[in-house]
């Protein structure tokens, strides 16, 4: 890829009869992060220097999580501070343009028009041979993951965004490598410090990239506080972050933040952040579901991403309950359905067809046209007897996210959408925004994560019976009121961290808050009591800004006629950036002469023509791998670093090697390229039959023992073998429970079909047989 197309952070423009663009060197980065429970506050200062002898207009583009609230931006040029104010976007743009024409230094920050996870900063008239510091402040919510960790990431990677041919925009250079991850070419210093505090005891804190990004952690004696700092070099090819593990993260709580008495509306009221961990009965898993698995097979998914998607697809197929309906959609520049006429009932025959597709699946379908396959899915009628769910796996590098999310929102009443963003820099505007619009859940997965764990958590959420008729009830010390923000009740998924916001008048004393609904006709509720509430006084109004951001995203998604006016009012009042507002500031103290004024380009177009294979009818916008160097340091590596060096990545690649033999529809014996125990685990999953059972010959082959060692007692062979595998998974693969949980439910349902079987007694007999096998083979890898 041509190096002159690599744009990093801050770009300068100078006029020489044409517009010349170049990198303004980054000298240092300083970031402070404070995590309090499930909320993070970030303040980052980036120091750049104009090495030229004339003033510049500089342009800064960076990613952020789409749900985070950017509420403060300022620039320091030499000894002058310019602090931005949030205004309606057209008004802000006019102030900025007028200031530039007057030769003044001005600052303008706004969201990218079509996406919510990128914002642009324009700084006019950066003096020659001077330094500039850009300071950003934002807040974001953190959620408890499937494994119990609370993860924080600094967004540093902005991948190329694919744009369909129907959308106008600049085009990409010939030969652009969509999968490229650029590394800063000049060394710069980095200082990232973080603190963690709250009511929960801290068990440990780990680096997000434990194999490459060392961190120094100090946990205080009371286990309520910790300090973190970056330790060693870092390259900007991945996101920097850490994971906090609390001793008991699944405690419901409500944090009440007092408001600003001088403000009005939301900012004056008290705001609640309600954290719940609702549980649903295991019996609520239903076969009356239609699940459509949508797999991104575009060129940018090649390599590890495609391997991961295939490994997950196999686990997904083995976990489906008999009697449900399913389909598989592959997409790139075009799309195709496994079952062209629509979803089919899950059976032995349809499973074999799906496994055949799995065996041949490659990332060879060109661009990333995600809108067309979704339209095709929605055009198919919904069976009223089944709840329809879409599970999308993608690297998220698309530009027309507005169209995609608006489509999902229009069909949310009939089809829920769940998303998985794969790889570094996946668009949170697409991955999280699409799931929010489709009233589902989203997961982001990188090479350090075990994708099976996260995706199977989504599948479990799909197969659960829905909590219907959700209402909120409150108890106060004195009569008062409470309103949800946004106003629509949240979607509830059993076993998942539920975060919702609410507001109540100043001085109101809340005693309890309860969510109520029905599951399969039975009453259900989840509560937070007074002893689980805490009141905080935060001058930064962190929760108010997060609630404002949640409301802004909801209003923009609904796209009602009066939504724009409401968004502008809320955005300006809270100081939280939105698509209809911008930050603007003008340095009134300094006016430059004509000779010192920076050139004002009509439009920044750093992309050229593209005619590569598979993209003749498509365009790329932001078509270079722009890296937001919020964190980074140390000299560049001599070659592009591998993103897939972790043990988890090796395990993922290994699982993908479980393929289907076309002639027999049997799963081939696992290729022993990873740990032997991992081989056994993957083969066990691959050998489960569509009805949930396992056969003695298959398990004997996997464990490399005789079938007679396994089949002892009076139980039917299929029943005993299925019970034995259930015990084996529970006893020796307990760390993968989130992955095999649905397979075990499926297996127990198989056992229940035999009326004479006492499942508890059968499981005891299976455990006795397994213990005997362990005594006979104490060093067998399965029992280590």
Q: What is the mean pLDDT of residues 585-610?
A: 48
Instruction: Look up the domain containing 542 and give its range.
Output: 253-281+467-569
Residue by residue, DSSP assigns 350-367 as HHHHHHHHHHH--S-S-S
**Domain co-membership, 21 together with 153:** yes
**Domain co-membership, 196 together with 154:** yes
Cα 180 to Cα 125, 177, 183, 238, 393, distances in angstroms: 33, 5, 10, 12, 20
Cα 411 to Cα 28, 148, 416, 464, 539, distances in angstroms: 47, 32, 8, 20, 40
State the residue for tokens 């081939």.
668
**Domain co-membership, 107 together with 196:** yes
- pLDDT score of 182: 34
| Residues 6+ positions from 524 with CB-CB distance below 8 Å | 280, 467, 516, 517, 518
State the residue for tokens 């029905």.
518
**Tally of domains within the chain:** 4
**Domain co-membership, 290 together with 437:** yes
Is 11 within a domain? yes
Residue 439 has phi, psi (to 5 degrees) of 55, 45
**Domain co-membership, 682 together with 778:** yes
**Domain co-membership, 426 together with 549:** no
Nearest CA to 568 among 89, 248, 13? 89
pLDDT band for position 623 (50/70/90)? very low
Report the percent of the chain where pLDDT is more than 70. Answer: 79
Is 268 within a domain? yes
Cβ distance 205 to 244 under 8 Å?
Answer: yes
**Domain co-membership, 453 together with 520:** no
Give the CATH number, domain containing residue 331. Answer: 3.40.50.410
Query: What single-letter DSSP state applies at residue 584?
Result: E
Q: Report d(CA 308, CA 304) in Å as an integer.
A: 6
Cα 219 to Cα 194, 223, 249, distances in angstroms: 12, 6, 17
Is 627 within a domain? no
- pLDDT score of 248: 86
Is 662 within a domain? no
Candidate from 206-220, 492-506, 549-563 with smallest mean pLDDT = 206-220
Q: CB atoms < 10 A from the CB of 367, how many?
A: 27
pLDDT tops 60 at residue 464: yes
Cα 355 to Cα 322, 358, 441, distances in angstroms: 16, 5, 26
Domain boundary among 412, 441, 463: 463
**Domain co-membership, 459 together with 335:** yes
**Domain co-membership, 210 together with 263:** no
Q: What is the three-class DSSP state of 176? A: coil
Q: What is the Cα 47 distance to its own chain's centre?
A: 29
pLDDT band for position 231 (50/70/90)? confident
Q: Which two structure tokens, joined as six digits, stand for 749?
A: 């349902």
Q: What is the mean pLDDT of residues 706-732?
A: 85
- pLDDT score of 114: 78
| Residues 6+ positions from 97 with CB-CB distance below 8 Å | none
Give the CATH number, domain containing residue 68. Answer: 2.60.40
Is 649 within a domain? no
**Domain co-membership, 417 together with 477:** no
Helix (H) or strand (E) holding 703: helix 696-703
Q: Report d(CA 745, CA 284) in Å as an integer.
A: 11
Q: Report d(CA 336, CA 748) in Å as an integer.
A: 35
**Domain co-membership, 428 together with 556:** no
What do you get for the CA distance between the two ends of the chain, in Å?
47
Report the percent of the chain where pLDDT is more than 90. Answer: 44
Is 213 within a domain? yes
**Domain co-membership, 39 together with 116:** yes
Q: Which two structure tokens, joined as six digits, stand for 688?
A: 């489960």
Cβ distance 164 to 367 under 8 Å?
Answer: yes
- pLDDT score of 212: 65
Is 654 within a domain? no
Highest mean pLDDT: which range of 47-56, 204-213, 307-316: 307-316
Cβ distance 210 to 218 under 8 Å?
Answer: no
Domain boundary among 463, 479, 498: 463
Q: What is the mean pLDDT of residues 628-653?
A: 35
Q: Report d(CA 334, CA 517) in Å as an integer.
A: 41
pLDDT tops 80 at residue 630: no
Helix H, strand E, coil C: the string for 233-281 is CECCCCCEEEEEEECCCCCCEEEEECCCCCCCHHHCCEEEEEEECCCCC
Model confidence pLDDT, tens digit, residues 249-287 = 898 999 999 999 999 999 999 999 999 999 888 666 778
pLDDT tops 50 at residue 536: yes
Cβ distance 234 to 633 under 8 Å?
Answer: yes
- pLDDT score of 165: 57
pLDDT tops 50 at residue 361: yes
For the chain, how many helices (H) and strands (E)? 16, 35
- pLDDT score of 14: 53
Buried b / exposed e over 738-764, threshold 16 CB at 10 Å, is bbbbbbbbbbbebbeeeeebeeeebbe
More confident residue, 645 or 414: 414
Q: Which two structure tokens, joined as six digits, stand for 643?
A: 């993103």
Domain boundary among 463, 496, 523: 463
pLDDT band for position 448 (50/70/90)? confident
Helix (H) or strand (E) holding 86: strand 85-88
Is 692 within a domain? yes
pLDDT band for position 161 (50/70/90)? low
Question: Which of left, alpha, beta for 615 (phi over 0: left; psi -120 to 50: alpha)?
Answer: alpha
């Amino acid at each position: 890829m041509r190096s002159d197309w690599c744009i990093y952070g801050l770009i300068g423009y100078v006029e020489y009869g044409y517009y010349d663009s170049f990198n303004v060197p980054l000298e240092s980065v300083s970031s402070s992060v404070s995590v309090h429970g499930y909320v993070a506050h970030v303040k980052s200062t980036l120091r750049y220097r104009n090495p030229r002898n004339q003033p510049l207009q500089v342009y800064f583009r960076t990613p952020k999580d789409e749900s985070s609230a950017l509420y403060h931006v300022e620039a320091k040029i030499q000894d002058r501070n310019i602090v931005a104010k949030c205004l309606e976007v057209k008004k802000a743009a006019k102030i900025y343009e007028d200031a530039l024409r007057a030769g003044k230094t001005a600052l303008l920050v706004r969201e990218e028009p079509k996406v919510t996870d990128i914002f642009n900063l324009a700084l006019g008239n950066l003096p020659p041979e001077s330094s500039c510091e850009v300071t950003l402040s934002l807040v974001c919510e953190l959620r408890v993951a499937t494994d119990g960790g609370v993860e924080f990431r600094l967004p540093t990677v902005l991948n190329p965004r694919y744009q369909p041919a129907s959308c106008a925009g600049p085009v990409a250079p010939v030969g652009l490598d969509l999968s490229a991850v650029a590394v800063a070419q000049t060394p710069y210093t980095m200082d990232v410090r973080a603190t963690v505090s709250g009511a929960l005891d801290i068990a440990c804190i780990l680096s997000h990239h434990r194999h490459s990004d060392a961190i120094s952690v100090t946990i205080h004696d009371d286990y309520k506080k910790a300090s973190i700092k970056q330790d060693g070099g870092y390259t900007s090819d991945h996101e920097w972050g850490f994971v906090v593990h609390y001793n008991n993260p699944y405690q419901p709580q409500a944090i009440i933040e007092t408001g600003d008495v001088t403000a009005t509306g939301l900012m004056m009221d008290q705001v609640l952040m309600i954290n719940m961990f609702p549980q649903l009965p295991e019996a609520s898993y239903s076969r009356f579901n239609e699940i459509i698995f949508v797999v991104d097979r575009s060129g940018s998914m090649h390599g590890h991403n495609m391997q991961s998607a295939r490994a997950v697809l196999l686990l997904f197929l083995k976990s489906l309950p008999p009697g449900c309906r399913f389909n598989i959609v592959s997409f790139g520049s075009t799309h195709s359905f496994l079952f062209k006429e629509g979803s089919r009932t899950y059976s032995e025959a349809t499973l074999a067809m799906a496994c055949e597709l799995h065996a041949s699946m490659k990332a060879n379908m060109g661009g990333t046209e995600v809108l067309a396959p979704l339209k095709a899915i929605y055009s198919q009628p919904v069976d009223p007897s089944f709840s329809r769910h879409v599970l999308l796996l993608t690297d998220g590098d698309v530009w027309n996210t507005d169209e995609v999310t608006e489509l999902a929102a229009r069909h949310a009443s009939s089809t829920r959408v769940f998303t998985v963003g794969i790889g570094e820099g996946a668009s949170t505007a697409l991955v999280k925004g699409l799931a929010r619009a489709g009233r589902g859940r989203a997961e982001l997965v990188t090479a350090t994560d075990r994708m099976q764990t996260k995706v199977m958590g989504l599948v479990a959420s799909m197969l659960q019976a829905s909590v219907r008729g959700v209402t909120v009830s409150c108890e106060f010390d004195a009569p008062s009121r409470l309103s949800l923000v946004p106003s629509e009740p949240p979607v509830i998924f059993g076993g998942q961290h539920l975060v919702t916001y609410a507001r109540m008048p100043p001085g109101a004393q809340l005693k309890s808050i309860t969510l109520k609904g029905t599951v399969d006709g039975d009453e259900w509720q989840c509560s937070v009591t007074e002893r689980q509430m805490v009141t905080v006084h935060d001058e930064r109004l962190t929760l108010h800004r997060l609630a404002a951001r949640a409301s802004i995203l909801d209003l923009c998604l609904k796209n009602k006629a009066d939504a724009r006016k409401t968004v502008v009012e809320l955005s300006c009042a809270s100081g939280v950036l939105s698509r209809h507002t911008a930050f603007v500031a003008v340095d009134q103290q300094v006016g430059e002469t004509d000779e010192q004024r920076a050139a004002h380009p009509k439009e920044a177009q750093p992309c050229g023509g593209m005619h590569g294979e598979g993209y003749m009818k498509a365009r790329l916008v932001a078509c270079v791998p722009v890296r937001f160097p919020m964190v980074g340091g140390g000299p560049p590596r001599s070659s592009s670093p591998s993103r897939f060096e972790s043990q988890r990545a090796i395990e993922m690649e290994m699982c993908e090697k479980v393929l289907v033999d076309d002639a027999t529809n049997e799963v081939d014996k696992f290729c022993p390229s990873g740990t032997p125990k991992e081989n056994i685990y993957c083969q066990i999953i691959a050998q489960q039959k569509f009805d949930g059972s396992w056969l003695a010959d298959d398990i004997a082959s996997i464990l490399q023992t005789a079938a007679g060692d396994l089949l002892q007692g009076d139980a039917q062979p299929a029943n005993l073998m299925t019970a034995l595998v259930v015990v084996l998974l529970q006893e020796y693969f307990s760390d993968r429970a989130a992955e095999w949980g649905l397979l075990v439910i499926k297996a127990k349902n198989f056992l229940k079909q035999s009326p004479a079987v006492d499942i508890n007694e059968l499981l005891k007999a299976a455990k006795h047989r397994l213990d005997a096998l362990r005594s006979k083979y104490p060093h067998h890898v399965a029992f280590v």
